[in-house]
Amino acid sequence: MNKKLSGAQLVLVPITRVGVNRLPFVENIAKRYVKFIDFVATDYLPDTTARGIMSSNGMFITIADMYGNTKLMDNLPMSRLDYANINAGVRQAIGAKISMQDCFITNMSASNVGKMCALMVYYDLEEFSRRNMSDKTIVDFVTVPIVTCQRYNKFPDSDRMAGKRFRRILLDTYNTIAPDFSQLVNQAYLNSVFVTLRKGSYNVVENMPIKLLQQYAFLEKTEWANIIFDFNSSYITIGGAGTITGQSNYLDHSIMFNFEYEA
């Protein structure tokens, strides 16, 4: 399986009971080849005031194939999908088309009831990815100013990177000031920041927690399959739909990425 990522979408699973909680149907992922699923431990979620689950303890996931009658993962401890956990190791591959309605989370913890379990689903998206045409790459930085603690903190236009094919998207969590002297959001508050990369009207990457882009911390190399997207329609979302506490930690600050793309 080609481990390079193309499509990615955050799926929120309402945990309504102790026991089985089914995944919602997501049209973009249906009939798509799913590569990985990450459990995302975050409190504030994009575009909702519902709170997220901060720990994978007491949760197990079952993934069914596209016909719904074969379990690709049968009650796998959710901690195995907690990629951002320092002890997690490499991502657990799925490598198949799945039936989301036949997938479920078995929740054993009463404290999780009423919250949302956030799963980052990575799937094959051939329409917005390309093969390598060159070995040479260029790295640039982009700072996204945070003007609202909700959606649509828009990426700045970039002539230099317009129409490029992107291979790596890197986040540095130590920096406090960007090369353009923007004040950066402190690493303590990055858990509630999500990025959406759009091409036209399609979300190539939708609500991806930016903490998952911190390559420094992870054992497995995260690479993208020369994905294409438009800067002028992509944006950052702060979780909580305006209810997040400590908004001054975000407003008047910026998020900085390093983008590596084909030269």
Partner 1 sequence: MTQITQNIDLVQIPLRRGVREYFLPNNADWKDQVIDKIVMVLPYYYGLQSPVDGAYLQPLYGGNPDIYLDIYSDDEKLICNGLSVQNLLFQNQYPHEIKSKISTDLSRIYFAEDPVFSEEGDEQRCLLLYVYYGGSQIMDPEPSRKNVSVQINLTAGQRMSFREIIEAYVHVNYQKIRSITVTRDNTNYAPVFLTLRDCQLKYSFVNIYDALFKQYQIYGNADHRRVTHDIFPEDFDLDMDYSYLQNSSMVNPTTVVITFEY
Q: Under the rule (CB under 8 A), what is the footprint of partner 1?
A: 86-87, 135-141, 168, 170, 172-181, 214-221, 256, 258, 260, 263
Q: Are strands 254-262 and 137-145 parallel, antiparallel or unpaired?
A: antiparallel
CB of 221 to partner 1, least distance (A): 5
How buried is residue 55: exposed, middle or buried, by Cβ count under 10 Å (0-12/13-18/19+)? middle
CB of 15 to partner 1, least distance (A): 27
Complete edge-to-edge strand list for the sheet that includes strand 59-64: 19-22, 104-107, 59-64, 71-77
CB of 164 to partner 1, least distance (A): 13
CB of 85 to partner 1, least distance (A): 10
Nearer to partner 1, 218 or 224 (CB): 218
Cβ-contact 182, 254 below 8 angstroms = yes
Nearer to partner 1, 48 or 215 (CB): 215
Cβ-contact 226, 167 below 8 angstroms = yes
Q: Which candidate, 100, 83, 105, 67, places its Cα nearest to that of 5?
A: 83
CB of 110 to partner 1, least distance (A): 27
3-class secondary structure, 75: strand
Nearer to partner 1, 76 or 256 (CB): 256
Nearer to partner 1, 74 or 220 (CB): 220
CB of 132 to partner 1, least distance (A): 13
Nearer to partner 1, 163 or 174 (CB): 174
Q: Which candidate, 174, 187, 209, 168, places its Cα nearest to that of 38?
A: 209
Nearer to partner 1, 12 or 184 (CB): 184
CA separation for the pair 32, 30 (Å, rounded): 5
Amino acid at 144: V
Cβ-contact 7, 128 below 8 angstroms = yes
